[in-house]
Structure 1
Amino acid sequence: MTRTLIHGGVVFDGTGAAPFPADVVVEGDTIVDVGVGLDGDVAVDATGHTLLPGFFDCHVHVMFSGVDYLKGLARPFSLPFYESVHNLRATLECGITSVRDAGGADLGVKEAVRRGLVAGPRMQISVNALSQTGGHGDGWMPCGSSVKLFPAHPGRPSGICDGPDEARKKTREMLRAGADVLKIMTSGGVLSPRDDPRHGHFRDAEVAVMVEEATAAGKYVMSHAQAADGIKVALRNGVRSVEHGIYLDDEGVELLLERGAWLVPTMLAPQMVLRIAADGGGLLPEVIEKAQMVVGQHTAAVERAIAAGVRIAMGTDSGVGPHGDNLDEFRLLIKAGMTPAGALHTGTGSAAELLGVSDTLGTVTPGKKADLVLVEGDALAHAGAKGALKEAIRGVWLDGARVVERTGAAR
């Protein structure tokens, strides 16, 4: 089997260690050696570059291409499936080799990537989110129509449920449809005009049965949770990750630490909504008002979590805004108080642990899958500057195969 030697560079290995000079040898789809003075059959000169694990984005929507209610009403039902092909490729080209789709992608989309019909990162999918009536996933409008971000179809069941019995059945339906992770909504949100992100949704008994059923199937639960009460009902009942966490308070921080759960901040999300509004996108006034209301609070909550040592994994909510700008989440985490190395760890080793794949992914260590990103210059310095990390990417490997090669790449 051919041994590919990537030599002469600095390795950020995703374990939490500082970057260090090293060569990396890949055989097939696996990293087989990391050290100095190694040899191989094919050489890639990485002098002046940083080699990192493939990045993770733990909160994307590959079936969205920017939220615009007016365009959505005029869009053919099948168009998002074709748009996802572009979105998946754009995600891969910015060095993200693993994603967790937080709603929208069904089993067919995941299978298309797995079979190599479509270029894209490894996927975990949630299929559709579980929401209470009147919650963040309920598209009811005052005119009597329903405008849902994730309309139901045979491969994507409706997630609306009320009470423990309905919650149990909907959990089983989502798992039957192929969900790798159960996504639930324990608060209102920004993009749903008829609820409030400060209000908690679902009661303890409902969340408990969702977690019980997911656990019985060997899966875990992620929760859209912006309200303080919504964060706490999720954590009390065993949810593995809190998404957004906008109104996270001190009690919520303590629960995150006590339960060893993750926060996936998606700091880009409200900024993407405000950008769409500034560009004249078709957003309802209520949505714009909520985005303006939460953006400062969101930053303060993430700062609080970082200062307390909460486990954080990188996620962006890409799909709300453009795919391909995902790496700017690192910059926002750094502004909120993380070191550059800490920020990059949220998208490598920490994210792999959250997704339950740390035995095969997330670090540049022997025995792991060869998902790698080659960055020209100092990746830690690039992480804090808008767009700089993406622009510096010179190569991306997925399962040992080079899937992105840019001008100026190491030779």
Structure 2
Amino acid sequence: MTRTVFTGGTVFDGTGSPPAQADVVIEDGRIVDVGTGLDGDRSVDCAGTALLPGLFDCHVHVTISELGLLQRVQTPFSYQFYEAARNLWTTLKLGITTVRDAAGADLGIKQAVADGLIPGPRLEIAIGLISPTGGHGDGWLPSGHCVPLSLPHPGRPDATADGPDEMRRVARTLLRAGADVLKVCTTGGVLSPRDDPRHSQFTLEELDVLVTEAAMQGRAVMAHAQGAEGIKNAVRAGIRSIEHGIYLDDEAIELMLARGTWLVPTLVAPVNVLRAASAGAGLPDAVVAKAEEVAQVHAESVRRAVAAGVRIAMGTDSGVGPHGTNLEELELMRSCGMSPADVLVASTSSAARLLGKEGDLGRLAPGHRADLVVVSGDAYDFPALAANVREVWQDGVRAV
């Protein structure tokens, strides 16, 4: 097999150690050596650049590109799959080589990427958003029409559940459909006009059933959780990650620390809702008002979680905002008190750990898959990072 050596670059290995001059050698899709003075059959000159592990985004929606109600009802059903192909390619070009789709992508999209039919980050998929009747994932409108963000279809079964027995059925149905992770709403949300982000959804009994069903199949649960009580219910049930975490209180933070629960902040999400509204997306007034209310509260909650030592992994909720702007999240994370190194750790090795892939991805280390991003200039210059991505390698093959 051909040995490729990346020479002359500054390596950020994903552990948080200071970037240092080093060579990286890859062979047969894996990293085989990191050090100085290495050689190979061919060389990639990385002088003046930084080398990063392939980045992660732990919260995306690749089948969603528009939030406006009118746009959704006028777009043909199958158009979403072509949008997904475009959105995946756009994301890969940023150096994001692994994503967790938090509802929308089905097994066919994941397999199309894995088989090389379309280029994109490797996918972990939730398929559907588990919601109670009237909850964050219920697309019912006062007119009586129901317009969810993601319409059910054979590969994406309906995920509405009320009571422990229905929760068990929905969990098993999504697992059968190929879910790598189960996503549940334990609170209301910003984009659902008729609920409140601070209010809880699902009882602890219902959540216990969900976590048990997932665990029996070796899967974890992620929770859309914004209000403090719903966050605490999720943590007490053993849910692995809190998505958003807008109204964290001290007790919630203490519980997360005690249980080792992850936070995926998605700080850019409410910012993007407000941008969409300003651009004429036609969002309900209640949605815009909620986004305005939570933006500052959200950032303060994340600051407190960071200061307390809660485990953080990078995620953006892209789809709520434009795909291709994912790396804006990094500067927002830094503004919440994370050091530049910690931000990159949250986007590489910590994200890999959240997804259970820490032995395979997230670091530039021998034995890991050869996902590398070559960045011109300073890897800590987050506002310029997207524009500075020069090359993206995935499993030892140059993708960008």
Q: TM-score, normalised by structure 1?
A: 0.97
Report how far residue 282 of structure 1 moved. 1.8
Paired residue secondary structure (1:213) = helix
Unpaired runs of 5+ in structure 1? 405-411
Alpha-carbon distance in 2 for matches of 1:261, 1:17: 24
**Does residue 399 of structure 2 align to residue 403 of structure 1?**
yes
**Does residue 237 of structure 2 align to residue 234 of structure 1?**
no
Counterpart in the other structure of 1:286 = 286
> Given that residues 10 and 20 in structure 1 are in contact (C-alpha distance below 8 angstroms), is that contact kept between their aligned partners in structure 2?
yes
Report how far residue 73 of structure 1 moved. 1.1
Paired residue secondary structure (2:10) = strand
Counterpart in the other structure of 1:251 = 251
> Given that residues 349 and 363 in structure 2 are in contact (C-alpha distance below 8 angstroms), is that contact kept between their aligned partners in structure 1?
yes
Report how far residue 345 of structure 1 moved. 0.7
Report how far residue 178 of structure 1 moved. 0.4
Paired residue secondary structure (1:173) = helix
> Given that residues 187 and 224 in structure 2 are in contact (C-alpha distance below 8 angstroms), is that contact kept between their aligned partners in structure 1?
yes
**Does residue 95 of structure 2 align to residue 99 of structure 1?**
no
* Aligned residue among 382, 390, 400 for 1:394: 390
> Given that residues 16 and 341 in structure 2 are in contact (C-alpha distance below 8 angstroms), is that contact kept between their aligned partners in structure 1?
yes
**Does residue 215 of structure 2 align to residue 219 of structure 1?**
no
Q: Deviations over 1:148-179 (max 9, x none)?
A: 01211111111110111110110000000000
Report how far residue 20 of structure 1 moved. 1.1
> Given that residues 71 and 282 in structure 1 are in contact (C-alpha distance below 8 angstroms), is that contact kept between their aligned partners in structure 2?
no
Alpha-carbon distance in 1 for matches of 2:290, 2:375: 37
Report how far residue 66 of structure 1 moved. 2.8
Paired residue secondary structure (1:379) = coil
Counterpart in the other structure of 1:408 = none
> Given that residues 2 and 42 in structure 1 are in contact (C-alpha distance below 8 angstroms), is that contact kept between their aligned partners in structure 2?
yes
What is the 5 A alignment of 1:130-169? 130-169=130-169
Counterpart in the other structure of 2:356 = 356
Counterpart in the other structure of 1:18 = 18
Counterpart in the other structure of 1:36 = 36
Paired residue secondary structure (2:221) = strand
> Given that residues 27 and 400 in structure 1 are in contact (C-alpha distance below 8 angstroms), is that contact kept between their aligned partners in structure 2?
yes
Alpha-carbon distance in 1 for matches of 2:243, 2:333: 15
> Given that residues 226 and 247 in structure 2 are in contact (C-alpha distance below 8 angstroms), is that contact kept between their aligned partners in structure 1?
yes
Q: Deviations over 1:232-256 (max 9, x none)?
A: 0000000000000000111110011
Alpha-carbon distance in 2 for matches of 1:179, 1:253: 28
Alpha-carbon distance in 1 for matches of 2:388, 2:74: 38
Paired residue secondary structure (1:374) = strand
Alpha-carbon distance in 2 for matches of 1:215, 1:178: 15
Aligned partner of 1:350: which letter?
A: S
Counterpart in the other structure of 2:338 = 338
Aligned partner of 2:64: which letter?
A: F
Q: Deviations over 1:307-365 (max 9, x none)?
A: 10100000000011111111110100001111111111111000000000011100000
Counterpart in the other structure of 1:83 = 83
Unpaired runs of 5+ in structure 2? none
Report how far residue 197 of structure 1 moved. 0.4
Q: How many residues align?
A: 400
Report how far residue 16 of structure 1 moved. 1.9
Aligned partner of 2:52: which letter?
A: L
What is the 5 A alignment of 1:153-232? 153-232=153-232
Alpha-carbon distance in 2 for matches of 1:233, 1:157: 25
Alpha-carbon distance in 2 for matches of 1:222, 1:256: 13
Alpha-carbon distance in 2 for matches of 1:114, 1:38: 31
Counterpart in the other structure of 1:325 = 325
Instruction: State percent identity of aligned pairs.
Output: 58
Counterpart in the other structure of 2:309 = 309
Alpha-carbon distance in 2 for matches of 1:2, 1:192: 52
Alpha-carbon distance in 1 for matches of 2:357, 2:45: 29
Counterpart in the other structure of 1:300 = 300
Alpha-carbon distance in 1 for matches of 2:341, 2:89: 26
Report how far residue 370 of structure 1 moved. 0.2
Q: Deviations over 1:272-329 (max 9, x none)?
A: 0000001111211111111111101101100011110100000000011111111110
Paired residue secondary structure (2:399) = strand
**Does residue 273 of structure 2 align to residue 273 of structure 1?**
yes
Bigger CA drift: 258-267 or 282-291? 282-291
Paired residue secondary structure (1:257) = helix
Alpha-carbon distance in 1 for matches of 2:15, 2:338: 16
- Aligned-residue CA RMSD in angstroms? 0.6
Q: Deviations over 1:166-213 (max 9, x none)?
A: 101100000000000000000000011111001011000000000000
Alpha-carbon distance in 1 for matches of 2:219, 2:80: 27
Counterpart in the other structure of 1:407 = none
Q: Deviations over 1:54-85 (max 9, x none)?
A: 00000000001131111001111111111111
Alpha-carbon distance in 2 for matches of 1:78, 1:247: 37
Aligned partner of 1:266: which letter?
A: T
Paired residue secondary structure (1:367) = coil
> Given that residues 245 and 265 in structure 1 are in contact (C-alpha distance below 8 angstroms), is that contact kept between their aligned partners in structure 2?
yes
Paired residue secondary structure (2:331) = helix
Paired residue secondary structure (1:136) = coil
Paired residue secondary structure (2:31) = strand
> Given that residues 66 and 72 in structure 2 are in contact (C-alpha distance below 8 angstroms), is that contact kept between their aligned partners in structure 1?
no
Aligned partner of 1:46: which letter?
A: C
Alpha-carbon distance in 2 for matches of 1:373, 1:66: 29
Aligned partner of 1:341: which letter?
A: A
Counterpart in the other structure of 1:71 = 71
Aligned partner of 1:42: which letter?
A: R
Aligned partner of 1:18: which letter?
A: P
Alpha-carbon distance in 1 for matches of 2:314, 2:211: 23
Alpha-carbon distance in 1 for matches of 2:133, 2:229: 18
